[in-house]
Amino acid sequence: MSESPPRSRRSAANVHIPPECRDMIRRGALMAVNSSGGKDSQAMMILLAQIVPHDQLVVVHAPLRVVEWPGTIEHIENTIPADVPLIFAPVASGKTLLDGVEERGKWPGIHQRWCTAGHKRGPIERELRHYLKSHPRFESRLVSAMGLRRDESTDRAKRIPWKRNDRNSRAGREWFDWLPIFDLTEADAFRVIRDAGQSPHWVYAQGMSRCSCSFCIFSSRFDLRRAAELRPALYRRYAAIEKRVGHTLSPSGVPLPELTGIPAEPAAGTPGLSDGLRTEDSVKP
């Protein structure tokens, strides 16, 4: 494991690249950029595009369909280099996160994050294995880059920025996981985006602090309330599922209407803030 240098304001020129990672890049390994469409994924893409030859880059996104913020796929398409391919990693069954909640009778939990495993990590790893196999020029070498930062939580601060992925280093594959922006701050991420002449996902300008699922188990009370204002139809659907399965999205155990202060049913004659602009049906599958 390589130690990270002291935290500081960073540009692409001084993002720490472990020696083993430099060697993988030099040997022509595929660099897979995991993108959610959020600020950290976007900043990571900008920095890696300055470090890694573009013909060794691929961007992979796990489309979350109805629970994903509208415009996310278009945002990714518009902010990655034109010569870098974008591949998608959908759930093989075609079922959505909400389908899974209905079937299980409960929402994901902090220690039971089946949403991440089943709707992001699993499908992404599957597609990257297929991509690597269909592109033999990479000689089965892959670096999977994720935009996690130590500042985000105490749990993420414990992550190892560079490590071998033993689960996927099989069948002749050489697979490493890398956190290129691990030591960047939130302000650094926004600065990288601004300096590149880009804008972050539209949800940040609307007051959201995170760009994951529209409603997430890790969302703050403020973010849940703001998401309810931005996506009222989806909010009502979440609240109805909470009531139906007898389990809350929030680990606090507090139902969404009580947590946000927003009724699950709109007042008569009061249209949703943005139902006509950004409805759940506008999300690209």
Residue by residue, pLDDT tens for the chain (285 residues) are: 444 444 434 455 468 999 999 999 999 999 999 999 999 999 999 999 999 999 999 999 999 999 999 999 999 999 999 999 999 999 999 999 999 999 999 999 888 888 888 899 999 999 999 999 999 999 999 999 999 999 888 888 888 999 999 999 999 999 999 999 999 999 999 999 999 999 999 999 999 999 989 999 999 999 999 999 999 999 999 999 999 999 999 999 999 999 999 999 865 544 444 443 344 434 333
CA angle 172, 36, 4 (to 5 degrees): 65
Task: Answer for the pair 47, 38: CB distance below 8 angstroms, yes or no.
Answer: no
Which residues, listed in sequence order, are joined to residue 280 by a DSSP beta bridge? none
DSSP 68: B
